[in-house]
Structure 1
Amino acid sequence: MLKRILYLGYYLKQLEKDKYVLFLNYAANKSKKSKLRLILDSFYSVFRYNISLLEYFQFRFFEKDHNERLKWAGTGFMYEYQLKMNPKDKRDILDDKRKFYKYYGKFIKHLSADVQNLKDDDYLVKRILSNPSGKIVFKVYDGKCGRKILIKSVNDFDEESLIHFMINNEYDLVEEYIIQHPELLNLSPSAVNTIRIFTQLNKQNKVEILGCRLRISINKSVDNMAAGNIAAPINEKTGIVIGPGVYSDITKPQEKIHPVTQKPIEGFKVPFWKETLQLATDAALLFKQNRSIGWDIAITEYGPDLIEGNHDWCKLLWQLPVNKGMKDVLIKYLSD
């Protein structure tokens, strides 16, 4: 009980109040239940089902009975699960992008550098500023969910000003902007649309795929759901999208057709699917101390390109696109 009380305090501190009110009004209209009843039920669900206040609405608990609610993995459960699977003292290789690029470098095709790399290697600076996309991406070493990312034209910099800009604006890394595969570009050109593959090591240290999702930008420079974009489920065996794109905003409809480009989402086949699955599998086996990881992978015309690995991978991105609570999938690994 004490742990759940602490979780509630965290949820209240982090709560996007405008979003809570938006979801509350929507749920009250849909369910015909009073707002007070929904508010009380959302707080009750924090304790009973180990979810956050917003997840009460995102998981549509206002429409679900007790047995259905039990199936969903919320923030509290995921925090405890990922803490066991990916211990805090082992996570830095994923948390710190500088270390990630060093140790997972064989899976990364795009150029990247920190300030010291640029100071030590003039040729690297020239390569980054002459990359074929004409754009560069600035990141902080511990950025999450597309936050603190800045995309700029290479024409805004020369070799000296690039380093000064990073230091003055406290950016730790600069990368060449990835040119995604033409088919993904046609689907949605506003951002690089990445594949998220969730991997889990079983007790035999074999990789099991927990799910695959296509993240699709909707007029945003990043593709994260938290930024207002959509995600769709991918068939693990075929690489074909098998459902509509969904938002984490419950007031928005599912998208079978991209709302901007009018390209079909369902039926889209991810290029280089076999190679993409293999990359995720190989990456998952590289450092087995982290056992459950969400891999973000870009697809270029030359094949898959690893972006990052997430030890605290998103339960919304995992469950919402398939409209199904999947806690049972994880529970079996807790006994391994």
Structure 2
Amino acid sequence: MKNILYLGFFILKTDYKDLIKSINCTSKKGYNKLFLCIRMVINSLWYGSSFVDYYNFQFYRKNKEQKKEYATMGIMYKFHNKMNHKDFIDEVDNKKTFFKTFNKFCNPAFLYTQKDMDIITTVILERINQKIVIKNPESSGGKGVRIFQVQKKENSIMIGDEELITFLKNHFKENEYFYFEDFIVQHESIANISPSAVNTIRMITLLNDENRVDIIGSVFRISVDCPIDNYSAGNLAAEIDSETGVVISGGIRKRSSCDSYHEIHPSTKQQILGLKVPFWNEIKQLVTEAAHIVPQVRTVGWDIAITPSGPIIIEGNSKWNKDTWQIPAGKGKLHVIKKYL
């Protein structure tokens, strides 16, 4: 019965432009479009998979037993609701509270309102000839992220091409807060693969019944000529062995029916497969400690940047994405979370 309800949700919430692209890509592999659409709906009822799950997980070429291995959208909804107490998820998901709770693990962050104009000017002055990253503190998934160079031209402070006061006035017309972080300089081995953005490690933790932290997934998120590394923006993700920190798959895009695995980065031509992520033990220690801070949120997807001096946490996600976890692996991982359900 629940899967019928999910089907209704998928019908209403699907991004059909994105869906059509996946259908068109898959049909070029010899699959009939009508057949794909019919099977897409049937699979939604059988497995709780969204319409885009059907293509991103490549269900059109998988058998029944392989499909059963996937944690689909319907299953993940139940999983996150069971693991994470709704009264505490804001501590992780909302940037305004996140950086107060987890500040010792993070890059310094600054949050101001319009009444703080003088303070903002002073703080920005300290960042002349540096980059800052401006974000919406209530958004996630890389939405609203903007990177600007702070410069001084004659007697004016510039953010990008706009004078600071003008920039702030325009900003506060549409936003309640001015939130920014210092731009992160990433480790050389990571920057060599893709310098267009700060490429992060998605580390998924779960606080088990014995109050120990299980690391249930690790993924290398790689930008492709894009200022953010978010998976939904058309970038790559590659699976990492959680024990060793070695990348064990090529990178692949979320719309996997339109892509193939990239052992070498498509733009920089640097090797992805086989990379040993630096500071791996330190990353595991970092998320293990962070996972205990808000124990009511038992499972979190941590986004970790690796600087020349070590890892820092960019953000946490209580409803971490099932796609980055399973698409690079090319197989379902329901068995990993089944024991917790």
Matched-pair contact (CA < 8 Å) for 1:129–1:136? no
Deviations 1:115-174 (A, max 9, x none): 14982983x754455448721111112212111112122123476556435422316311
SS at match of 1:270: coil
Partner of 2:79: 81
Runs of 4+ more than 4 Å apart: 158-163
Deviations 1:92-134 (A, max 9, x none): 11121010000001101x2211114982983x75445544872
Q: Is there any run of 5+ residues in structure 1 with no aligned partner, and where?
A: none
CA RMSD in angstroms, aligned pairs only: 2.0
* CA 1:151–1:178: 2 relative to 1, 3 Å: same
Greater RCO, 1 or 2 (C-alpha within 8 Å, sep 6+): 2
Partner of 2:132: 136
Deviations 1:177-210 (A, max 9, x none): 1111122111100000001001011110100011
Matched-pair contact (CA < 8 Å) for 1:111–1:128? no
Matched-pair contact (CA < 8 Å) for 2:23–2:55? yes
- 2:102 is the counterpart of 1:104: yes
Partner of 2:110: 113
* CA 1:214–1:131: 2 relative to 1, 3 Å: farther
Corresponding residue pairs, total:
330
Q: Is there any run of 5+ residues in structure 2 with no aligned partner, and where?
A: 152-157
Q: What is the deviation of 1:76?
A: 1.2
Higher helix share: 1
Matched-pair contact (CA < 8 Å) for 1:240–1:270? yes
- 2:169 is the counterpart of 1:164: yes
Which one of 161, 182, 191 corresponds to residue 185 of structure 1?
Answer: 191
- 2:223 is the counterpart of 1:228: no
Partner of 1:316: 323
1:1-336 map, 5 Å:
1=1, 3-30=2-29, 32-108=30-106, 110-116=107-113, 119=116, 122=119, 126-131=122-127, 134-155=130-151, 156-157=158-159, 160=165, 163-170=168-175, 172=177, 173-249=179-255, 250-334=257-341
Identical amino acids, percent of aligned pairs = 38
Name the CA distance, whole Å, in 2 between partners of 1:212 and 1:256.
17
Matched-pair contact (CA < 8 Å) for 2:113–2:176? no
Matched-pair contact (CA < 8 Å) for 2:222–2:235? yes
- Scaled by the length of structure 2, the TM-score of the pair is 0.91
Name the CA distance, whole Å, in 2 between partners of 1:148 and 1:7.
29
Matched-pair contact (CA < 8 Å) for 2:49–2:73? yes
Counterpart residue type for residue 252 of structure 1:
D
